[in-house]
Amino acid sequence: MASEQDQQVRVSEDGWSSPVPDRLPPPTYAPVFVALGVTFLLFGVVSSYIFSAAGAILIVVSAAKWVGELMHGE
């Protein structure tokens, strides 16, 4: 169900109406680190398990931080 705030509409002097914008989450670098972790993980498949382990750890930590930031914003 939408709250009253979600259904508010701004009406300008000209009679045009525009919806109140949704609140966006703040920007974060977590997706970049998840992608870097995937890169390390896949590079480790062809080179060394050390890169794979580092990539897996980076993915888990970055994804947890990303989800934590999104949940904290609510």
**Is residue 12 included in any domain, yes or no?**
no
Mind listing the pLDDT tens digit for each residue in 15-48?
777 776 677 778 889 999 999 999 999 999 999 9
How confident is the model at residue 37, as a pLDDT?
Answer: 97
Q: Is residue 4 part of a domain?
A: no
The amino acid at 12: S
Average pLDDT over residues 53-68: 96
Selected residue with higher pLDDT from 9 and 35? 35
pLDDT above 90 covers what percent of the chain? Answer: 53
Mean predicted confidence (pLDDT) in 10-15: 66
How many structural domains compose the chain? 1
* 3-class SS string, the chain: CCCCHHHCEEECCCCCEEECCCCCCCCCCHHHHHHHHHHHHHHHHHCCHHHHHHHHHHHHHHHHHHHHHHHHHC
Range of the domain at 39: 23-73
Q: In this predicted structure, what is the pLDDT of residue 74?
A: 57
Establish if 15 belongs to a structural domain. no
